[in-house]
Amino acid sequence: MQSHQPQLDLANTDPASAIAEFEQILVSNSGEDPFDSAIKLLAAKLLDEVEAVSGRAPKFQIQKTAAATHKTAQELYSRAIRRWPHLNGNGESLGISPEHLVRSMRPLIGWHLIDSDLSWLDAALERLVARDAKGILGQYFTPREVIRFCVDVLRPNPKDRIIDPACGSGGFLYESTQYALREFGSAPNCLGIDFGARAIKVAALLSAAMPQAKLLVSKANSIDGRNCVSPTPMEWAGFLSKAGGAQSKRAKSWGDWNKLSCSLVFTNPPFAGDIDDHEILDAYEAQQNPAAKKATSREHLFLERAVHLLKPGGRLAIVLPQGLLANSSASYLRQWLFNKCRVLGVVGLHQFAFLPYTSVKTAILFLSKPKADESIPKDYPIFFAASRVPGKDSSGKVVGANDYSSIAQTFTKFLLSQQFEWAGKKVIYGQTDIQSEIVKFSEVKQADRLDAEYYDPSARALLRRLDNVSETRLANLVDTRVERFKKDQGREVTYLDISSVDSKTGLTFPNTLPADEVPSRASYVVRPGDVLVSTVRPDRNVVALVTEAIGTNAVASNGFCVLRSKTIQPEVLFAYCKTQAFKKILSRHATASMYPTVTDRDVLGVPFLQPPQEVTDRIVHLVRSGLEMIELAHAQISEAISLMNTQVHSVEAVEVDNNVHKVQQEKKPYRRTRKNG
């Protein structure tokens, strides 16, 4: 918001503080839902601003009495929802007491919504949306810095028709409009679709506050066309074409739903929940693949839907969980995608990007659809980069600048080199320190990986150097046949899981359990000399060397890859697996979103560099003596603690004896004595 009336006695000196106070007052009210109250009051204020443009005196003011203020605000809101039906905040009544209304209005007086930066308002309304409801659906409003990054890369222009099929608060559409107005002087046609009523209200409010915008919002389920056959929402009229859509019989039977078409798609679809309704799945081409499951993750359908929304020549930016780009379970979808679109690039987002709402690892996939008279090249370059500076800390608090602008600059240089018409002809000068990698599609397809971290340039360069000097891989140095654990009654086992390993030294501190109480994760029988490499969160580099102290009945969890040396000393193998090089190479293979994991095959495929004999001997000596000293130190500290426990116990015992004696004395019968004489 910006002030058009600086002469007023503003409650706050900047719009961010004004909105923050407005939000706090609404939340502190014990009556109506603060979100609904916010929408109603903002709708009333917005209408007042629109009418004031034509010369009418502002009415969204604090009157002489609270009752008069309430009456005027109620009249404004009633007219507002007739003009903008999507802003109906759960009824035509303001639903707020006159006194509380005056308090709520106070921070807004003097600040205007129209033609201002609405990002602060968007952030406040986002916080007012029930966070637990969003979490259940796996839907989190996209951070503005991520939205602007996508917009900067794909450069929306006034000729574009833009659709966001999971628009949320309309951030992508708002920023696309702002970009086009700033760069070209005119706005593109934008359509936002969402199934959440609150998200639609936020998007509608932002749209109404932008007179130059051509932004429409529609409440519908973007991945289920059964309710969209008839009647077609009026907002869809300018976005219908036969140029897009799926070719499945089911999709075609859904009429206009399958005719929605645009030149540009921006979206961040919800991730949570599986779809098992075959009336829906039958509409999706990729789901007809034998590898597809009976229940499909929601984001899988949104990706295919977004591709079908594109007309030939269109382009797409979509936020996805990293697992969809890397996991083998989504391989069928990637193969389908390769036949439909050209992959422009992938940018991995930092794990802090969506904090404080979620730490799910995500990425942005950029695609283009070939024109009607074009075909996808057999081989072509793809841009990969990963954001390493999110500008946030682990709590989600903004602590500094991010690296999105630098990545966008580097990515744009690449797109210009590929001569895409929409990329423009602007020459970009200057150097950036962003690490990016250009990879041929043929390599990407063979690896069946689209996650940017897999193509990390420093890891790839390191791997090339090791491949040039090494003669073998770990698989050739170890025995991969490790005995599986079978539960036996009546004996105890020493159980090792990831928490049993000291990540710095590699020493193990296992638990002793009855065999029938060992967790189901217990999988491998291990023995002294085995090297255990954690396959969960490889970036933490949890590696253990099993020593003689483990005993004869040791079992490790399936969170480890067990390396049993054949032709190499275990100490050397352990030291190699603790190197930064091993950690970097293994980490690039990690898949999944919440808990990155690698496979035994990934571990065994790491190249091995054999050190000279004198170095080998020194490593063996250092590891053996080091672990012996650590074990001795641990035993001595344990003995010291045991002695102290004994001492404390003896003091407690004396204290108990004294207390017992005191109680016994108090319980003795009182005897009165006579004085002589």
CA atoms of 173 and 216, how far apart (whole Å) = 9
In the chain, which stretches have pLDDT less than 70?
A: 1-16, 29-32, 89-91, 115-140, 229-230, 426-433, 489-490, 593-594, 652-677
**Residue 242 in domain:** yes
- Same domain (yes/no): 377, 296: yes
CA atoms of 600 and 480, how far apart (whole Å) = 9
- Same domain (yes/no): 487, 447: no
For the chain, the domain total comes to 4
**Residue 10 in domain:** no
Angle separating helix axes 119-128 and 197-208, nearest 10 degrees: 160
- Same domain (yes/no): 492, 373: no
pTM (two decimals): 0.84
- Same domain (yes/no): 528, 602: yes
Residues near 449 by beta carbon (within 8 Å), at least 6 away in sequence: 325, 326, 455
Assess contact for 438 and 382: CB atoms under 8 A.
yes
CATH number of the domain bearing residue 589: 3.90.220.20
- Same domain (yes/no): 216, 102: no
**Residue 676 in domain:** no
Helix (H, G, I), strand (E, B) or coil at 51: helix
Angle separating helix axes 119-128 and 144-154, nearest 10 degrees: 130
CATH number of the domain bearing residue 330: 3.40.50.150
- Same domain (yes/no): 494, 440: no
Q: Residue 401: which domain range?
A: 129-455
**Residue 503 in domain:** yes
Query: pLDDT for 246-296, tens place per residue?
Result: 999 999 999 899 999 999 999 999 887 789 999 999 999 999 988 887 889
DSSP label at residue 235:
G
- Same domain (yes/no): 520, 545: yes
Residues near 10 by beta carbon (within 8 Å), at least 6 away in sequence: 3, 18, 109, 110, 111
Q: Is the peptide bond before 356 cis (omega within 30 degrees of 0)?
A: yes
> Among residues 76, 94, 121, which one ends one of the domains?
121
So what's the pLDDT on residue 191?
95
> Among residues 398, 429, 455, which one ends one of the domains?
455
Query: pLDDT for 65-87, tens place per residue?
Result: 999 999 999 999 999 888 888 77
